Structure 1
Amino acid sequence: MTTTSTVAFRVHALPAEVLDSVRASGVDAFGNRVERVTAEGGDPLRCCLRNAEPGEDLLLFGYRPPLPASPYREVGAVLAHAEPCAGPADVNSYPPGWRGRPQVLRAYDARGWIHDATTVHDGQDPEGTIAELLAEPDVVQVHSRNVAWGCYMFTITRAG
């Protein structure tokens, strides 16, 4: 790893209350039925920030990442374990299983508007790219998104 700059940050998986609600009700926050699927392997889990193993029971549902109401607030499909899991192993570092995966890092300001610091990283030095984005004083959060599908992966904020 060749981190060019360091900054303390936190990664945020899907909130436990969202997961509890979806698992208990069988519907997402928008009233859409949750789909049960079996992992093929490599499916990105937003509950624990790792790739699924083949055969794991998963839920596929619509999720709106945390942003103030703005024209940039989106809803997209996410995958999570069908049953509660331990969550991310470490919220103070980039998810190790996703290192090497190119991602869009979309920066947002306090209004929930996309900041022009948004970038794509190749997966080799995500911490360096995150540090550059969080060095922008107007950036309050960064969403990691899948390059090919555009799906929300997780949120990054400054630690503290």
Structure 2
Amino acid sequence: MIKPNGFVVRPLPSELLHVVRRTRRDAADRPVEATRADGGEPLRCCLRDAAPGEELLLFGYVPPVADGPYREIGPVFAHAAACPGPEPTDAYPAAWRGREQILRTYDRQGRIHGGRRHDGGDPEPVIAELLADPAVRQLHSRNVVYGCFMFAVERAEE
């Protein structure tokens, strides 16, 4: 979804989700775990928290960075069945406003370039400031407690 503030928020790619749902295998070729939501699980397919009882998949995902020592596999939740993805919005995912996050930046070589902890209350100025550094290729929003990847952010022109 393209943002008027100059960046694009990228949830998990729909093509990747289609493959995971069809093959039931993750990025490390391990079986995915099917589970029923307790409620509150962050869904990386539609950028909101799961409601109790929703059918989910838990699987290993490789966030989009260049191949190298900072590339990792981490756990993510997504709907077990196809969903429409995030609702169109012109801002940070509305359902996650106010959620404390780590905004971690990466350069073109896939190395961590910096970042910031933020309270989620007004993330657009922080994101814009971090993306203003010409060495930054992309930014990842990450869960503060677990360190899990939430979504990627890139400049709109990339």
Which bin holds the TM-score, normalised by the shorter protein?
over 0.9
CA distance in 2 between counterparts of 1:157 and 1:91 reads 16
**Cα shift readout 1:37-77 (whole Å, capped 9, x = no counterpart):** 11111110000001111100000000001111111111100
Q: Could you tell me whether the CA contact under 8 Å between 2:27 and 2:73 is conserved in 1?
A: no
Residue 25 of structure 1 is matched in structure 2 by 23
| 1:144 partnered with 2:141 | yes
Query: 2:91 is matched with which residue: 86, 89, 93?
Result: 93
One-letter code aligned to 1:52:
A
With the length of structure 2 as denominator, give the TM-score of the two structures. Answer: 0.94
Q: Could you tell me whether the CA contact under 8 Å between 1:9 and 1:92 is conserved in 2?
A: no
Residue 62 of structure 1 is matched in structure 2 by 60
CA distance in 2 between counterparts of 1:123 and 1:16 reads 25
Q: Name segments (4+ residues, structure 1) moved above 3 Å.
A: none
**Cα shift readout 1:78-118 (whole Å, capped 9, x = no counterpart):** 000000000011264200000000000010011111003x1
RMSD: 1.2
- Describe the shift of the 1:126–1:120 C-alpha distance in structure 2 as closer, same or farther (beyond 3 A): same
Q: Which SS does the other structure have where 1:88 is aligned?
A: coil
Query: 2:124 is matched with which residue: 120, 123, 127?
Result: 127
One-letter code aligned to 2:146:
W
Residue 153 of structure 2 is matched in structure 1 by 156
Residue 38 of structure 1 is matched in structure 2 by 36
One-letter code aligned to 1:38:
R
Deviates further, 90-99 or 74-83: 90-99
Residue 49 of structure 2 is matched in structure 1 by 51
Q: 1:7 offset after TM fit, Å?
A: 3.7
Q: Could you tell me whether the CA contact under 8 Å between 1:12 and 1:91 is conserved in 2?
A: no
Q: Could you tell me whether the CA contact under 8 Å between 1:141 and 1:155 is conserved in 2?
A: yes
Q: Name structure 2 gaps, 5 residues minimum.
A: none
CA distance in 1 between counterparts of 2:57 and 2:153 reads 23
CA distance in 2 between counterparts of 1:157 and 1:55 reads 33
With the length of structure 1 as denominator, give the TM-score of the two structures. Answer: 0.93
One-letter code aligned to 1:86:
P
- Describe the shift of the 1:52–1:107 C-alpha distance in structure 2 as closer, same or farther (beyond 3 A): same
Residue 106 of structure 1 is matched in structure 2 by 104
